Structure 1
Amino acid sequence: MTTDSVPDDEKARFWGEAVSRTLVPVEVVPLADRPFEGRLVSHRLGYLRVSTLEADAMRVTRTAALIARSPQAEAQVGVAVQVSGRAVLAQDGRRAQVPAGSLVLYDAARPYTLDYPEHFSTHLLQLPCRLLGAAEHDIRQVAGTTVTSAEAFGAVLLPFLDTLAACAHSCRASVGDRLAGSVTDLLSTLVAQLTGAAATDPHARDGHLVQRVREHIDHHLGDPELSPETITGAHHISVRYLHRLFEGEGVTVSRLIQQRRLEACARDLARHGRTSPTVSAVAQRWGFVNPAHFSRAFRAAYGVPPRTWRALRTTEAADGPLARSVPVDPRPRMVEQVAAFPRQHSQPIYQST
């Protein structure tokens, strides 16, 4: 995005909206005594956003009011790599001078101000705070800390981030996922170095992401569009990376979605009441749009058709409370129950309703 073709009297407003829409909602005040000029390029590498800003002098403010307007937004941690010009970051009572060739960390979940007193160029990298695996007080402690190339770790980190921002546009999705993981590991190490804490284990980060995916699946079971593709879109990772995350889970993502849907259907079918929903209504409620497919999948998992399951659970209800959890594959037990079920009841069970 660039202000080149924007009328002079609209440039500042356009730029503020572009930055807020691409990064996080902020207030932007130009400081130059001429029509504002700015250029913003932004890319996604998995869950990592990499942006490059080149613009005239300005002040960027992230206020408490702007943060409160989007309470559901995930907390982000940012790294600003100053390419040219200089910046001043104020956050949590600290004021960090950021000369060209250095970087500064900031917490987008809390108010801050970034002053650019002259024409500048900077790389901004943002990722979810949770993936750093650092405690909130550790992130708060390092926010507003400047790191230069004169420091051992800075001498490694700064050239890497600068090169990453320059080539982000050419990275394939699978490569972008791995690079995002590498950046997270490096920043986690930086936070650990600055706070004296132990660096986060990358496996712990992946495990946390797997848990987030599982929670996402459970919250969207009723959406018939739920799929690996929609999951990766929500978490800003590639399908390949998603499948790699689940390699050690003993189940594919698609299979997990179907299992969780079938378990939800089995629980609903086992409930009793005067207005019990039909089998087709239960299937649709949990994301099955094809009744025939649902019936086949249910029988494959539970050994009997949905209507038989409902009838058997109705019979069991007289003997005591139903189990809270539904087994994934109770076929041996169900086959015994079907064999023992009174013959005179078999016709109504299988008959269409």
Structure 2
Amino acid sequence: MQPAPLMTTDAVAPGERAAAWRNWVWTHFGGLESDLYGDTGFDGHMSASQAGDVVMTKLEANRHRVLRSPRLARTSDTSYLKIVAPWQGSAAVEQQGRQTWVKPGGWAIYDTTGSYEIANPERVEHLIVMLPKEQLVERGLRLESLMARHVGGASGISRVALESMRNTFQELPAMNATTARGAGEMIIELVRLSLQELAGRESATTQLEAFRDRIREHIGQHLRDPGLSIDRIAQSLNCSKRHLHNAFSAEDDTLAHYILRRRLQACMRDLKNPAQAQRTITDIAFSWGFNNGAHFSRVFREHAGLSPSDFRETALRQSAVV
């Protein structure tokens, strides 16, 4: 099973690479938006193969983000569970208000039938694995609480699954169609066992994850409130501020930065939406809990790589082309 032809920016003029990459990502992953943190220089490469019903893609690229909006998720005619397993760099997987970071030696999973965002804040080399969702749903797994989780990879069945995914991708060129299909079925079964183990794990770790989910759910419900603060969250959840901070101590985000990033992501979605084009940038920012225009402009540029007005202009121009 030979990989699909390599998609590479090497043969594309520098000024056209960003647009070419966005088109490739949109086409290959079935309606997935991307942005490049406002960077002007970019290079990226993708190659893909199939192991039966399992689609495997190797992706190498400069820092970038991908986003599936609720609208795109609703209109998709494909139903996959998607795994990101870095060889190099890191990825932040966010879905259903839950976020997890994954680095080399681990993997995380999410559902393409729902909205999600993947941030790759540095140059990455990822293995992306797409598994037919119905083949896991049929086996009785309750998937919703397992999405945007760090499944593992350091030990146990999740490590076996990770190594099998990597080895299968590398050896697919030497496999015939029947062998490749069998390898794909094996991967689906190993992922099922890994998720089953994750779902059944009763430990301090899963209790902490459940508490983080409660915090994130509360933040999501009150994100538009400019009075949202760590003090208010602690009062609402009947816990100490120290307990809140400890819940996020192993995360790459502090709690305060998580709130800021969620607000910025919400602003970015509104600024990209043609239906919101008549609203002022200040109105959008203040509707998501910001109360200082200069502060918003500064943190937005730090997050997106562009000023809010430049970001909006670029995004609306790209949406008109797509």
* Band the TM-score falls in, shorter-chain normalisation: 0.5 to 0.7
Which one of 96, 99, 120 corresponds to residue 100 of structure 2? 96
Shift of 1:133: 3.3
User: 2:31 pairs with 8, 25, 30, which one?
Assistant: 25
Name stretches of at least 5 consecutive residues in structure 2 with no aligned partner.
Answer: 1-6, 202-322
Distance in 2 between residues matched to 1:57 and 1:152, nearest whole Å: 31
Higher relative contact order (CA 8 A, sep 6+): 2
Supply the distance in 2 between the matched residues of 1:60 and 1:33 (Cα, whole angstroms): 15
- Structure 1 residue aligned with 2:72: 66
Name the SS for the 2:198 alignment partner: helix
Over residues 201-260 of structure 1, what are the superposed CA-to-partner deviations in whole Å (9 max), with x where a residue is unaligned? xxxxxxxxxxxxxxxxxxxxxxxxxxxxxxxxxxxxxxxxxxxxxxxxxxxxxxxxxxxx
Q: Is 1:186 aligned to residue 190 of structure 2?
A: yes
Measured in 1, the distance between the counterparts of 2:29 and 2:174 equals 20
Residue 110 of structure 1 is matched in structure 2 by 114
Structure 2 match to 1:54: 60
Shift of 1:118: 0.4
- Report the equivalent of 2:147: 143
- 1:4 corresponds to which residue? 10
The answer for the alignment partner of 1:128 in structure 2 is 132
Q: C-alpha displacement at 1:168, in angstroms?
A: 2.2
SS across alignment from 1:114? strand
- 1:195 corresponds to 2:217: no
Query: 2:62 and 2:24 mapped to 1: Cα distance?
Result: 15
3-state SS of paired residue (1:96): strand
Name the amino acid aligned to 1:150: A
Question: After alignment, is 23-32 or 105-114 more displaced?
Answer: 23-32
Q: 1:42 aligns with which of 45, 48, 62?
A: 48
Q: After superposition, where does 1:149-164 map in structure 2 within 5 Å?
A: 149-164=153-168
Cα pair 2:94 2:117 within 8 Å, conserved? yes
Match of 2:11, SS state, is: coil
Q: Contact between 2:83 and 2:107, CA under 8 Å: does it hold in 1? A: yes
Give percent identity, aligned residues only. Answer: 23
Question: 1:80 corresponds to which residue?
Answer: 84
Secondary structure of the corresponding residue to residue 131 of structure 1: helix
Of 120, 123, 143 in structure 2, the residue corresponding to residue 119 of structure 1 is: 123
Amino acid at match of 2:151: V
1:137: how far off? Answer: 7.6
For the residues of structure 1 that align with 2:64 and 2:111, how far apart are their CA atoms?
Answer: 20
Aligned counterpart in structure 2 of residue 13 of structure 1, from 14, 19, 39: 19
One-letter code aligned to 2:44: G
Q: Report deviation, 1:102.
A: 0.8
CA distance in 2, matches of 1:174, 1:137: 27
Give the aligned partner of residue 175 of structure 1: 179
- The number of residues matched between the two structures is 195
| Alpha carbons 2:56, 2:169 under 8 Å: kept | yes
Cα distance in 2 for partners of 1:106, 1:45 equals 20
Query: Judging changes above 3 Å, is the alpha-carbon distance between structure 1 residues 170 and 31 closer, same or farther for their aligned structure 2 residues?
Result: farther
Distance apart, 1:88 and its partner CA: 0.4
User: RMSD of aligned C-alpha atoms?
Assistant: 1.9
| Shift, 1:69, TM fit | 3.1
Which segment drifts farther, 87-96 or 185-194? Answer: 185-194
- Structure-1 separation of matches of 2:91 and 2:140: 25
* Residue deviations 1:17-71 (CA, integer Å, cap 9, x gap): 112211221111012634210000011121110100000000100111222333x
2-structure distance, mates of 1:114, 1:107:
12
Q: Give the Cα–Cα distance (whole angstroms) in 2 for the partners of residues 55 and 190 of structure 1.
A: 28
TM-score by length of 2: 0.57
How far apart are 1:189 and its partner, in Å?
Answer: 1.1
Which structure's CA Rg is the greater one?
1
User: 1:185 and 1:108, CA in 2 relative to 1: closer, same or farther beyond 3 A?
Assistant: same
Against the structure 1 CA distance between its residues 159 and 39, is the aligned structure 2 distance closer, same or farther, given a 3 Å change threshold?
same
Shift of residue 134, structure 1, vs aligned partner:
5.1
